Structure 1
Amino acid sequence: MTIQVGEKLPSATLYEFFHEETGGCALGPNKFDSASEAAGKKVAILALPGAYTPTCSAKHLPGFINKVNEFKAKGIDEIWCISVNDAFVMGAWGKELGAGGKVRMMADGVAEFTKAIGMELDLSARGLGIRSNRYSMLVEDGVVKSINLDPPGTFEHSSAEVLLQQLA
């Protein structure tokens, strides 16, 4: 069952790689609980099928990186990019695209979070295995306020611009 507006994020493990040790966090991968990490924060989440894939690299993630100041001005504490990739891949991809200090690159290596919210996408026929659907989500204090799901193979509803419009 896909998570719905008004529901709380589940407790699931996400991993993040840091390029510099900071605040007690090692380089990584560092383990975080999704529910605990979202508590008390206003978080914009973008999720996508895979790091380094064409639409994800050219449009989806760059849109959030480029509009980070607009998100902050509308009260967003953090932006998370979640993908079913490992923390090393997510860290390298984020570094290449300039996400540092703007978007947290959260790895969902075994799709624990993705499956817990019902957003898994089986791309085994294309050699990619279980991945995440493409979506964006607004979460306040762990509660889902909006979800923008794109049909597989499209990029229409989950952009930074769409999520920004939903932030009044």
Structure 2
Amino acid sequence: MIERGNPLPSVGIKLVTAAGVEDTTSDAVLGRGTVVLFTVPGAFTPTCHDNHLPGFIANAAKFRAAGVDRIVCASANDHHVMKAWANASEALGDVDFLADGNADFARALGLDKDFTGTGMGTRYARAAMIIRDGIIDAVFVEDAPGVNASGAPAILMALEAA
């Protein structure tokens, strides 16, 4: 699993923003400035949709005030699903979305998790990280169901403590 001090891996992804969808790489999106990346098992899934994403949307101004240049959500969903989720959640402009349909970036980070028992295949573990100029500064991985260590309040506290 990726750790503090590791460089961000470069993997092909699709970026969903208010401007549309583009093919790019993880390091091009996450490698400049201070970025908060949070990863979720799936778009529209109950915990992700109701408990994880909303905290980052609601606290976007606080993240910017803490020096965060970009908030990004990654999931192993295709870009059509990620765009629909971004639109439905009204997050665009506050949060950008990485569509990692084959979970290649999830594997490169060591955050891939087997959800085949629930019919979802390989997905991301629920996590968040602070990235500064392409170097991992902090990683927060949930060790139980729910949103605690990787939620917006915990990441804001970590930013304030840094």
> Which SS does the other structure have where 1:167 is aligned?
helix
AA aligned opposite 1:127: G
Partner of 1:150: 142
Partner of 1:15: 14
Distance 1:53 1:152 in 2: 16
1:86 aligns with one of 70, 78, 81 = 78
1:75 aligns with one of 67, 71, 87 = 67
Find out whether 1:57 has 2:57 as its counterpart: no
1:42 aligns with one of 34, 44, 58 = 34
Deviation at 1:16, TM superposition (A): 2.3
Give the TM-score of the pair, scaled to structure 2. Answer: 0.94
Distance 2:17 2:59 in 1: 22
> Which SS does the other structure have where 2:148 is aligned?
coil
Find out whether 1:134 has 2:133 as its counterpart: no
Identity of aligned residues (%): 34
Deviation at 1:148, TM superposition (A): 0.7
Distance 2:87 2:24 in 1: 20
Q: Is the 8 A contact 1:15 1:32 kept in 2?
A: yes
Q: Which runs of 5+ in 1 are unaligned?
A: none
Find out whether 1:120 has 2:139 as its counterpart: no
What is the number of equivalent residue pairs in this alignment? 160
Find out whether 1:95 has 2:94 as its counterpart: no
1:105 aligns with one of 91, 97, 110 = 97
Distance 1:153 1:162 in 2: 16
Larger mean CA deviation between 10-19 and 117-126 belongs to 10-19
> Which SS does the other structure have where 2:150 is aligned?
coil
Q: Which runs of 5+ in 2 are unaligned?
A: none
Distance 2:74 2:39 in 1: 5
Tell me the C-alpha RMSD between the 2 structures: 1.3
Q: Is the 8 A contact 2:37 2:130 kept in 1?
A: yes
Deviation at 1:130, TM superposition (A): 0.3
Deviation at 1:125, TM superposition (A): 1.0
Written as runs of structure 1 = structure 2, the 5 A alignment for 1:19-38 is 22=19, 27-28=20-21, 30-38=22-30
Distance 1:50 1:161 in 2: 21
Q: Is the 8 A contact 2:66 2:159 kept in 1?
A: yes
Partner of 1:167: 159
